[in-house]
Amino acid sequence: MPASPSQPLEIFISYAHRDKALLKELEKHLSNLKQQGLITSWQDHAIRAGDEWEKTIALHLETAEIIFLLISADFLASEYCTSVELARALERHRRHEARVIPVIVRPCDWQGSAFESLQCLPRNARPITSWEQRDEAFLDVVSGLRTIIDELHTQRTKTPTRQMILHNLPYERNLFFTGRDDVLDRLHTSFQTMQTTQAISGLGGIGKTQTAIEYAYRYQGEYSTILWTQADSREALLSSIDEIAQYLNLPERQEQNQPLLLQAVKLWLQTHKDWLLVLDNADDLSIMRDIIPTAPQGHILLTTRTQITGKTAHRVEIEQMADSEGLYFCCGGPRYSS
């Protein structure tokens, strides 16, 4: 057995409440892995009185390295389990941020489901309740989990720890963000193909700022520094530049000379790489030209209502969402029912 990782792997368990008895049995069989310091597990009955349950669930779903899905007819019938927890789990799995493991606990029709291509447990996807000896079924799940733990532990030891990312993002990440994956993918692809300046364009109030925030958090691992500015007026931009000079600890930060600070920040952008600069509400493109370097070594992302960006930026337009999509985008999905 390999040496225990320096920190245990966190497992998030998504389940329908009618399967709580099976969840408790699974927890018993995971006890030895916990005692060895290999894993910790979390599920919604760990929510304490007074906690905001949606935010608490989303936080653990976002940080887990392994996500168990206890699959049954009740799980598949739960809108919250499938539309929120399963959807986010699969997104993190596709981005190699977490390993998603469907555990078939009761017989049900899951063929053609969103997780059909994933390797299921127990072996041969035989439902746990179909085993003559249920303990053998849970042991099979634990054995499969041990193999995955070994793989992830090996990846941990081979992957160097990234330097902490410096950023001044003014908002926390919206853990329930959904509905703009196509826009985010287009932005990311364009940045990778040497489009160094891009603009999220659209009418007011349709989520341009939220989309920029999500882009910054989603791809933060590709940047060493993320800088956020308010660009709705020249005064607002200069105020943001002053804050950035302080944040970057530039020698000119003590000066009360805004043109000098502007040039200092611009020089920093010209002489450093792997940064993301966001100019929010940049409706007047003329006021931001003083800050954009002639040969950027990072990426510049604007949010703007203007439809004409010319050569200043590659424009990616976003449109009004359908009512159902907008509900998920703003409110984080339906209320919990499982």
The strand pair at 197-201 and 39-42 is best described as unpaired
Q: How many whole angstroms separate alpha carbon 118 and alpha carbon 110?
A: 12
Give the domain CATH number at 210: 3.40.50.300
Measured distance CA(241)–CA(85) in Å, rounded: 39
In contact, 214 and 180? CB cutoff 8 Å: yes
Question: Which residue would you say has higher pLDDT here, 306 or 22?
Answer: 22
Report CA-CA distances (Å) from 204 to 209, 232, 310, 314. Answer: 10, 12, 20, 19
Sign of the alpha-carbon torsion through 197, 203, 205, 207: negative
Tell me the backbone φ, ψ of residue 234, rounded to 5 degrees.
-65, -40
Does 194 have pLDDT greater than 60? yes
In a domain, 2, yes or no: no
pLDDT confidence of residue 333: 42
How many structural domains is the chain composed of? 2
Last residue of a domain, one of 130, 158, 186: 158
User: 142 and 208 share a domain?
Assistant: no
Q: Domain limits at 16?
A: 9-158
Distances in whole angstroms, Cα of residue 58 to Cα of each of 13, 173, 332: 12, 11, 10
What is the CATH classification number for the domain harbouring 115? Answer: 3.40.50.10140
Do 315 and 182 share a domain, yes or no?
Answer: yes
User: Quick check: bond before 251 cis, omega within 30?
Assistant: no
Please identify, among 101, 124, 158, the residue that sits at the C-terminal boundary of a domain: 158
- Which position has the higher pLDDT, 147 or 257? 147
Each residue's pLDDT tens digit, 99-115: 999 999 999 999 999 99
Over residues 262-298, the pLDDT tens digits come to 889 988 998 888 899 999 998 888 887 788 887 788 9
Q: In angstroms, what CA-CA distances link 110 with 103, 238, 336, 337?
A: 11, 56, 21, 20
Partnered with residue 229 across adjacent β-strands are 279
Mean pLDDT of 208-226: 90
